[in-house]
Amino acid sequence: MHPTALHNVERFCATYLRPDHRGYFVVEIGSQNVQSVTRTLRNVLPPNAEYVGVDMVAGNNVDVVLADPYRLPFETGSVDVCVASSMLEHCEMFWLLFLEVLRVLSPSGLFYLNVPSNGDFHRFPVDCWRFYPDSGNALVMWARRSGINAALLESYVGAQKSDIWNDFVAVFIKDAGLAGQYPNRITDQYKEFFNGLVFGNAEFRNYQALPEDRLKLRTIEMILSGQMAVR
């Protein structure tokens, strides 16, 4: 999990997981720690969370190896929180996995998604997708077409921090009718993002048409052409 992805999931835990809750059953999809970092989702969850990491291959931080990437070995409605960070770009048919995540979630269950909105081609074993600001709403439309009344609580594209990645972050709830159980949003406190959406509002927060890479390139071009002074 690269640094901005870890910071984003920490913000999610701080915003959505209450320390006074009876306890959370949390499943992370794509949990293998391939970067040998010391901090993972398992480390940043609150004490009242039970964690299970699943992946397609055995490895560090993997509790369950999946036989089928589109089938999670959990009972329907048994999971409180499902997390997929920096892995859905490697899922060839992510829309199938999205429905499977919603199947295992409880009615008030949350799905936290972090996936690149830009960045290098990196196969593990394939690299298929990048997500743009409307992607969260598109997944909700797919869920409802499939008979699940899901909702997008919020989404945003995070700013780069000491690396190349702009992370698309989205938080979904399985049953839109229970959205009131989660009144707080990451983007109420965190401000270094573009094109944020929140439940109940169709307008983008911090709207920006150009991706951050393009903005940086434009600045460099203006400096080189003398239109902007170096500070």
Instruction: Indicate the length of the chain as a whole number.
Output: 231
Residue 139 forms part of a structural domain: yes
d(CA 8, CA 226): 37
Per-residue model confidence (pLDDT) at position 165:
86
The most confident of 28-37, 94-103, 203-212, 216-225, by mean pLDDT: 94-103
Does the pLDDT value for residue 43 go beyond 90?
no
The more confident residue out of 77 and 6 is 77
Residue 106 forms part of a structural domain: yes
Q: Which residue in this structure is represented by tokens 């409180």? A: 80
d(CA 94, CA 129): 9
- pLDDT tens-place string over residues 51-72: 999 999 999 999 999 999 999 9
Please state, rounded to an integer, the average pLDDT across all residues of the chain. 92
Q: Which helix (H) or strand (E) holds 8?
A: helix 3-16
Residue 150 forms part of a structural domain: yes
Give me the CATH number covering residue 178.
3.40.50.150
Q: Is residue 36 very low, low, confident or very high in pLDDT (cuts 50, 70, 90)? A: low
Residue 207 forms part of a structural domain: yes
From the list 224, 228, 221, 9, the residue with the least C-alpha distance to 115 is 9
Contact indicator for 56, 65 with CB cutoff of 8 Å = yes
Name the pTM for this structure: 0.93
Contacts of 78 (CB under 8 A, 6+ apart): 25, 104, 106
Residue 83 forms part of a structural domain: yes
Does the pLDDT value for residue 37 go beyond 60?
no
Per-residue model confidence (pLDDT) at position 73:
97
Residue 229 forms part of a structural domain: no
Number of compact structural domains in the chain: 1
Q: Is residue 38 very low, low, confident or very high in pLDDT (cuts 50, 70, 90)? A: low
Helix (H, G, I), strand (E, B) or coil at 182: coil
Does the pLDDT value for residue 215 go beyond 90?
no
Does the pLDDT value for residue 100 go beyond 80?
yes
Does the pLDDT value for residue 1 go beyond 70?
no
Provide the residue range defining the domain that includes 196.
3-224
Q: Which residue in this structure is represented by tokens 């960070």? A: 85
Residue 231 forms part of a structural domain: no
d(CA 57, CA 64): 9
Neighbours of 139 (CB within 10 A): 23
Per-residue model confidence (pLDDT) at position 35:
65
Neighbours of 131 (CB within 10 A): 24
- pLDDT tens-place string over residues 171-193: 999 999 999 999 999 999 999 99
CA angle 68, 167, 184 (to 5 degrees): 95
- pLDDT tens-place string over residues 104-152: 999 999 999 999 999 899 988 999 999 999 999 999 999 999 999 999 9
d(CA 143, CA 38): 35
d(CA 66, CA 45): 23
d(CA 92, CA 127): 8
Residue 65 forms part of a structural domain: yes
Contacts of 185 (CB under 8 A, 6+ apart): 15, 153, 154, 198
Does the pLDDT value for residue 26 go beyond 90?
yes
